[in-house]
Amino acid sequence: KIHMSGALGGGQIGCNYQWGTWVFGVEGDGSVVQSDGQGNENFPGRLTFRDQTTEHWLATARARLGYAQDKWLVYVTGGGAWTELQTTVSPVSGILAAIQKNTLSGWTVGFGAEYALGYGWSIKGEYLYMDFSSSNYFSPTTPFNGGFLGSDYNVRLRQSVARFGMNYKFDWGGPVVANY
């Protein structure tokens, strides 16, 4: 089990429709991520290996349902998530290393709040939980593996993301007005 930590930065685009106090929307986002973790694996009768897993980017496409009151919007969100993981496995001696990148897909759910500052600007904070499918690295036929690992190296990523941001709302139907 490897525990990863790091930071991310990116942007988002979306569309919301407010009907009374209810807000319905969709949004997509993309982030550059610098998150990693490492650990050691001991294989009986074999070498001890150092594993490092690094996340490079993250993207989500989500639906959003919220309740607006005055300048506040509280919402729940959910949809699909994608990320790229790089796994490096090397003997503790560090003489040789195998590196492989895979793109993982999964799902995400979360909640957040947004506050309208005025003139189309708002600030928001949200929490997302993400669960990605398992991905196999270094199959037994990989030249580096050569039977040392004995089988595929399996990675499954589950992560929590807390993020804060600033949004600008475009209103192509007239002047910019933040209803919430």
Q: How many helices (H) and strands (E) does the chain have?
A: 0, 9
pTM across the whole model: 0.83
* Across 14-30, average pLDDT: 95
Rounded to whole angstroms, how far apart are CA atoms 60 and 45?
42
Give CA–CA dist 98/90, Å, rounded.
6
- Cα–Cα dist 10/27, whole Å: 13
Q: What is the mean pLDDT of residues 47-60?
A: 88
pLDDT over threshold 50, residue 56? yes
Note the pLDDT tens digit of each residue in 58-114: 999 999 999 999 999 999 999 999 999 998 877 776 677 778 888 999 999 999 999
What is the phi/psi pair of residue 9, to 5°? -150, 145
Q: What is the mean pLDDT of the chain?
A: 85
The amino acid that residue 111 corresponds to is F
